[in-house]
Structure 1
Amino acid sequence: MSFLTSCIDGVEDFLIICGLVLTQLVYGSFSVFMGKLLAMGLDPLFIVITGSLVTAILLSPFAFFMERGKRPSKLSLRLLIQFFFIAVGGVTVFQVLLLVGIKKTSPAIASAMPNLAPGLIFVIAGFLGLEKVDLKCRYSWAKIMGTLICLGGAVGMSFLQHGAPATGLAGDDGLVGCMYLLTAVFVLSCVMILQAATLIHYPAHLSLVAITSLMGSIFTAVFQLVKEHKLDVGDSNLTPIYLLGLAMAGGLVNGVCFSIQTWSVKKRGPVMVSLFSPVGTVCSAVLSALILGDSLRLGSICGMALIFVGLYFVLWAKKKEGYSLPEDDETFLLESQQQVKPLLS
C-alpha cells in the first residue's frame, strides 16, 4: 500500500512540475505577444476584461461538473472577502499593472521581474504558517538556500542576458514601468498566499478561478467605465473578428495557466509555485536564441544552472518534509462532507 501511495505521489509531483514548467513557457511566449498587441494600441483594460470573461466562461462547465462534491454549500463572509481580494488583486490590479509595465518597458524586463516573487512569498508564507520553516531542520535550510540560489541565478541572468542599461529602461517612462512591474509582483505574491489560505476552506480550484475571473472582469469593466466613461478597445485598427480571436486565445491561456497554478498551490503551497517563475525567464531566453537568433551569454548560462540547482534543493526538501495544510483543515473537511448543496448548482 505504501508503495502504491509513493507511486501516486511521484506521478502527482511529476505532473505538477511539468504543468508549472509549461505554464511559465506559455507565459514567457505570451508576454512577447502581448507586448506587440499593446504597441498596436490595444487598451490594457480591454485585454483584462475580455480575457478574464472568456476564462470564466470556458472554465465554468468544467468547474460545475467536476467539482460538485468539493464546493461548500454556503459561502461565509470570510470566503466572500477572500474572493473579492483575489479577483481585484489577481485579475484586475495584477494584470493591468503587468500590461502597463510591459507597454512602458519591454517583455524581456517584464518576464524577469516575477523572479523576485519567490523570496517574498517564502518570507510571508513562513510567517503565516503556510510554509514549514524550522531553523533546526536541515530541510528548512535546504529550502532557504535553494530559494536564495534560485533567486540569485534569476536576477543575475536577467541583468547579464538583457543588460543593465536595457532600452526598455530609458527615460522616466521606463522607470515608471519598472515601478508598475514591481508593484505587480508584490500583488501577485499576496494573491498566491491568499489563494493557499482560501483553498483550505474552498477546496475547488477550478471553481475558484472561474468565480474570481468573472468577478475580476466585472470589476475591471466598472473601473474602465468610471475612469474613461466608456468601454474602450483602444486606438487599434484590428477588426472585431480578430479582437474576438485574441480574447478567446487570451482567455484560454489564462484559464489553463491559472488552473494549473491554483491546483499546484493547493497541492504544494505558494512557495513551490512561485519558484518556477525563473523558468519563464530561462524559456524566454532559450526561445529568443532559437527563434530570434539572440545570443546566450556565458553568464546567462551560469544563471540558468543556478536556477535549476536552487529548484532541485527546494523540490528535494519539500519532498522529504511534505506539504501540509493548517490543522483546522481536517476539521473543515469533515464538516464539508455533511454539506450537500453545491455553490454553482
Structure 2
Amino acid sequence: MRVSSALNLKKEMLEDLVIGGGLIVVQFVYAGNSVLLSYLMSIGLTPLTILIFSTFATFLVISPFAFYFERKKWPKRFNFKLVTQLVLISFGGVTLFQSFFLKGIKLTSPALATTLGDFPAPMSLCGITSGIGVVITAIVQLLQGQTRDVFFPLVDVRDLVGYSLVGGVVGGACVSFNGWAMKKRGPVLVAMFSPIGTVISVVLSVVTLGETINTGSLLGMLLMFTGLYFFLWAKGKEGYAGADPLESSEFDPHKPLLS
C-alpha cells in the first residue's frame, strides 16, 4: 500500500512538472507567434485574413490526429447544449481570442474546461472549434467588406500557405496541450500562466524591434511573476496537504475553480 501511494505521489509530481513546464513553453510559442503576426500585419495582411488562414490550417492539421486518437472519446450524440458550447467557444476562443488575445483567455478558459466535461477530447475540441471559428471569422470578414484581402492577399500565396501551416501546427499543439492541462488541473492554473507570454513578448519586442522598457513595465512584470509564484505555491500546498494520492486528480468542471 505504501509503495503504491509513493508511486502515485511521484506520478502526480511528475505530471505537475510536465504541466508547468509545458505551459511555460506554450507561452514562449505564443510570444513568438505574436512577433510573427506583427510582421505579417506590417507587410499588409489584415488580422482577420491571418486568422482565417491560420485557423483553417489548424483545423486541417489537428483533425486527422483527433479522429485517430480520440474517436472513442467523442459523445454518441451532439445535443443542443454541446453544440451551443462549441459555437460559443469558437466565437470567443478563435474570433475574439485572437482579436483580444490576453482578454480572450480569461473569458474562454472556464468555458473550455466546462465543455471538456461533456467532450473529453482536447484535440478533437481544438479541431472542431477551429473549423467553426473559420466560418465565423469569414462571415465577419464578409460583413466588413474585406473579401478582396482574403482572396487576393498582398503577399505571395506560397508564403501565406507556409505561415498558415506553421501557425496551424503550433496553434493546434498549444491549444490541445492547454485543453489537456485544463482537464487535469482546471482553467485557473492555465490562465495564470498568460502573464509569462506578455513578458516574453515585451522582451522579444525589445530584441527584434528595438523598443524600450520603462520602469512601469518592469514593475508590472515583477508583480505578475510574484502573483504567479504565490498562486502556484498555494496550489501546491493545497494539493499535497492531506490529499489522497489514490484519488483521481483530473479537474471536475462542476466544482469551484479554486477548490
**TM-score (ref. length: structure 2):** 0.82
Q: Residue in 2 aligned with 1:316?
A: 233
Q: Residue in 1 aligned with 2:65?
A: 62
Q: Does 1:232 align with 2:149?
A: yes
Judged with a 3 Å threshold, the aligned counterparts in structure 2 of structure 1 residues 39 and 258 are, in CA distance, closer, same or farther, namely: same
Q: Residue in 2 aligned with 1:7?
A: 10
Q: Residue in 2 aligned with 1:201?
A: 118
Q: Residue in 2 aligned with 1:263?
A: 180
**Higher mean displacement: 35-44 or 221-230:** 221-230
SS in 1 for 2:137: helix
Which string of whole-angstrom CA distances, capped at 9 and with x for unpartnered residues, describes residues 254-294 of structure 1? Answer: 11221122221211111111111111122234445555666
Judged with a 3 Å threshold, the aligned counterparts in structure 2 of structure 1 residues 14 and 236 are, in CA distance, closer, same or farther, namely: same
Once the 2 structures are TM-superposed, how far is the Cα of residue 309 of structure 1 from its aligned partner? 3.1
Q: Does 1:274 align with 2:194?
A: no
Judged with a 3 Å threshold, the aligned counterparts in structure 2 of structure 1 residues 292 and 84 are, in CA distance, closer, same or farther, namely: closer
Once the 2 structures are TM-superposed, how far is the Cα of residue 241 of structure 1 from its aligned partner? 0.8
Q: Residue in 1 aligned with 2:52?
A: 49
Q: Is the 8 A contact 2:116 2:122 kept in 1?
A: yes
**Higher mean displacement: 304-313 or 65-74:** 304-313
Q: Is the 8 A contact 1:42 1:235 kept in 2?
A: no
Judged with a 3 Å threshold, the aligned counterparts in structure 2 of structure 1 residues 43 and 25 are, in CA distance, closer, same or farther, namely: same
Once the 2 structures are TM-superposed, how far is the Cα of residue 189 of structure 1 from its aligned partner? 2.1
Q: Residue in 2 aligned with 1:24?
A: 27
Once the 2 structures are TM-superposed, how far is the Cα of residue 53 of structure 1 from its aligned partner? 0.8
Once the 2 structures are TM-superposed, how far is the Cα of residue 40 of structure 1 from its aligned partner? 1.6
Two-structure CA RMSD over aligned residues (Å): 2.5
Q: Does 1:74 align with 2:73?
A: no
Once the 2 structures are TM-superposed, how far is the Cα of residue 234 of structure 1 from its aligned partner? 8.0
**Higher mean displacement: 67-76 or 209-218:** 67-76
Aligned pair count reads 242
SS in 1 for 2:45: coil
SS in 1 for 2:176: helix
Distance, in Å, in 2 between the alignment partners of 1:277 and 1:303 is 14
Q: Is the 8 A contact 1:46 1:231 kept in 2?
A: no
Distance, in Å, in 2 between the alignment partners of 1:227 and 1:201 is 35
Judged with a 3 Å threshold, the aligned counterparts in structure 2 of structure 1 residues 33 and 326 are, in CA distance, closer, same or farther, namely: closer
Judged with a 3 Å threshold, the aligned counterparts in structure 2 of structure 1 residues 293 and 58 are, in CA distance, closer, same or farther, namely: same
Query: Could you tell me which amino acid in structure 1 is paired with residue 234 of structure 2?
Result: A
**Gapped regions of structure 1 (runs ≥ 5):** 99-109, 115-184, 329-345
Q: Is the 8 A contact 1:94 1:188 kept in 2?
A: yes
**Gapped regions of structure 2 (runs ≥ 5):** 240-248
